[in-house]
Chains A and B, each alone.
Chain A
């Protein structure tokens, strides 16, 4: 089964190169045609002198990248961290790709080396020609958490007309049932579907493996380890009651530790608000080659907002993208907590949330959190379905606890509210009840509110959103639900189905 991975490359850009690089990326992003090609003519004038021109009529041909689900380039402009220190400009590149990494990078260079060379020649230092691979590898950053909406599905399986993709299979099935007569029974219908798609190519597609199921073993592992360490080990050494007492003590200690930690963070929160504003005031606007103002200052909000929002919600696209960069609040405590929460999310994303929903949200293709600039900033990339408004609504209505857990550790997040020590017993009860679902992080957070403040949270998100200059999707007309439904159709077609299962399968058409 193909594994989907995340590649993130962050390369520094000299201040003087920010504007020309932005122009080039903007031109690339705006000129991706329906076939995934960027005509050379549309970017020619913006290419740096001396860079080798790509042979052929196109600057880059995205559709030829058979391992890439989504790809983006984002220019992160110069900024200041939470302490007021300067952060230089950098270029962030990301792909959601089918592994292994070597094959992905090979393909990337084989198909797009001249384009990459041109783009990265704006970086500081620029990669010497022929050493792009090493350049990219040395600047790749690991993610803290990575979510996949349709794990185990390669680009080739999902989309395409010449490769027996699941989408093509569905098209043929749909066409089969469009003209009358309608089949009299489910048995007839399934038989007709199987005849229509009986040749060996489709059988191959269908046997490419079932959709990924919940990884119960991996999910249970931490609990098993904890149980072994705090219960079985003391039981064997000192007897049952000592074991039981030890387990109870461990649970209480964990809860108490989380409680203390939560209180500390909450106390910090109250002072943070003032300190952030003070620091920002002292530091003044960050250096910007365009001479524009600090991105968080109100005057620039309008213009930035328009820039960001006009790249979204394109009529021809079902999908959308979001790039979000925000300062991590200073202090080891914060960083540790942030990493803990993200680690928890990553673990759940790889074990429990593998059926097309992150928590309850059914519209995310891929999402990743990456700590950049020596852990001073948190970068969030998301490829999602439908409008920004609906995505943020889902966040607030369905996942506010998780969000608050992550982003309450970043600056200017809407204030969190501490439920007080009285909440401890309830939190414990929730934690116990939530096992093994663990759908809600509220139990362990003890404090939650930030992301429930609807308008504040939406404003905060907009304030820290960054325009995504180049964004490519391999299958722009499919939603997450579509992809997963196609998989179920393909795998069900040649699987033995009972009568009831046949009815369920037919409803997928």
Chain B
């Protein structure tokens, strides 16, 4: 291992969101801001730079976890960094994905956000909402080029503030230091996105979420976690200025020794994903003639886990009553090489294929770990039914409520991690030798349908005409800087000190 890993990470410079998802802080809101007055915004940043939650050692965390009532984090778009006066030379060293943002025609095709190649723009806007930027609530703006209209990342979106709290009151009456004061701090609020922690840490379809997380080498693990080498990734897979899986520095504004503005920062991918929960269970009910056990079984096959989070690989026929701790320590190859337990095309087998791709399981695991992300998503909107009971959801009509997931992930190389997984593993109907099977939960293209194959003995069972259940409502690529970099943004730019970075 490179020296810097043995020496440990500079925990005090890393935003705590990299280390933990704040299970103990069930309330959260995310604010999207435009910088209207750079000087005031810098002053605000300077004030809150001491309030931002940091990564901690295991001992510190034991104490803090009980005392913690709120946690604050900030992240910036490329336009935001520019608005705060970060110099162009430094900005140009950020990878292209971050500089261009989530909305370009090419990236729309990669991520499956609408179909940019087809249709008349005017009609597109009138048509039923899809995942294209023309339907987004935030994150995209229309602009007119010489040869027609196009969509790009919203140039007014500069800043993301993430505030987590123990009780709802903290969010509503934020301490002055935590939430930008309208007018006074030079920040204009574009959107405020609420969250809703669902029972059993589930997402809206009714399945426990956020289980598989990679362990970052050198990062003190959570109290109850026991990191396994199979699940451990190099720090540079998440943090800039640290060696990645190729023993290289990730692309970004750091030098060969990892020093510079990018140090200890990471890219935060944010997507607001609307979930058509009633549509999902309606499809399931139709395929299983409304029989609840069969419906839950089929939905679980699509996910790869039972609603309580237990993997099908370990529990192929039915979930246990109590939840084991060990819900993430498993490989696919030894017990389920052909997908008879957990189908090849199921959601968790695509988003983290572990040892299952290719001929050599060890190599497969190594390669799959080149595409891991730290996930920090939170659900939003009211559940379709209380307690997310599948039996009730299968019968419930759509209530037209806005609900879904604020998908948040952290990675050091957006192209090799987030975009790769979205494009090659979830959207790709040819994943792992399949023919017409995109991810049944999140991968079916707008206006099209997919199929889902449940491998079996003697022959597979195929479910067809699966519509799209998840639609994008907004999204952007942010940079979640190290604490020191935030201080520099707040004070040193655009002064001469910038050059010493």
Q: Which A residues are closer than 8 A to B by beta carbons?
A: 174, 177-178, 182-186, 188-189, 305-306, 309-310, 312-316, 318, 360, 362, 385-387, 389-390, 393, 396-397, 452-455, 479, 481-482, 485, 503, 506-507, 509
Contacts and interface: CB of A to CB of B under 8 A. Distances in A.
B319 interface: no
B459 A177 contact: yes
4 closest residue pairs by CB, A with B: A186-B458, A479-B430, A454-B246, A481-B433
Contacts of A485: 433
Contacts of B367: 397
Contacts of B359: 360
A59 B343 CA distance: 46
B464 interface: yes
Given A313-B109, A482-B430, 16 more contacts: A178-B462, A178-B464, A182-B456, A185-B458, A186-B459, A188-B458, A312-B106, A314-B117, A318-B429, A390-B420, A393-B420, A453-B248, A454-B246, A479-B430, A479-B433, A485-B433
A455 B358 CA distance: 24
Contacts of B423: 313, 386-387, 389-390
11 contacts: A182-B456, A189-B459, A314-B109, A315-B109, A385-B430, A389-B423, A390-B424, A455-B250, A503-B457, A506-B458, A507-B455
Contact of B415 (A182, A362, A389): A389
B431 to A, nearest CB: 9
B458 A454 contact: no
A503 B456 CA distance: 10
B433 A386 contact: no
Contact of B112 (A183, A184, A315, A506): A315
Given A182-B461, A315-B115, A509-B459, A393 B248 contact: no
B246 to A, nearest CB: 4
Main SS at interface, chain B: loop
Interface of B: 96, 105-106, 109-110, 112, 115, 117, 244, 246, 248, 250-251, 338, 358-359, 367, 370, 415-416, 419-420, 423-424, 428-430, 433, 435, 445, 455-462, 464
A390 B106 CA distance: 15
A455 B248 contact: yes
B251 A183 contact: no
Nearest to A453: B248
A117 B250 CA distance: 50
B420 A189 contact: no
Nearest to A302: B96
A452 to B, nearest CB: 7
Contact of B106 (A184, A309, A318): A309
Contacts of B110: 313, 387
Given A385-B430, A455-B248, A509 B424 contact: no
A25 to B, nearest CB: 19
Given A310-B105, A507-B455, A453 B428 contact: no
Nearest to A193: B459
Nearest to B415: A389
Nearest to B423: A387
A305 B95 CA distance: 13
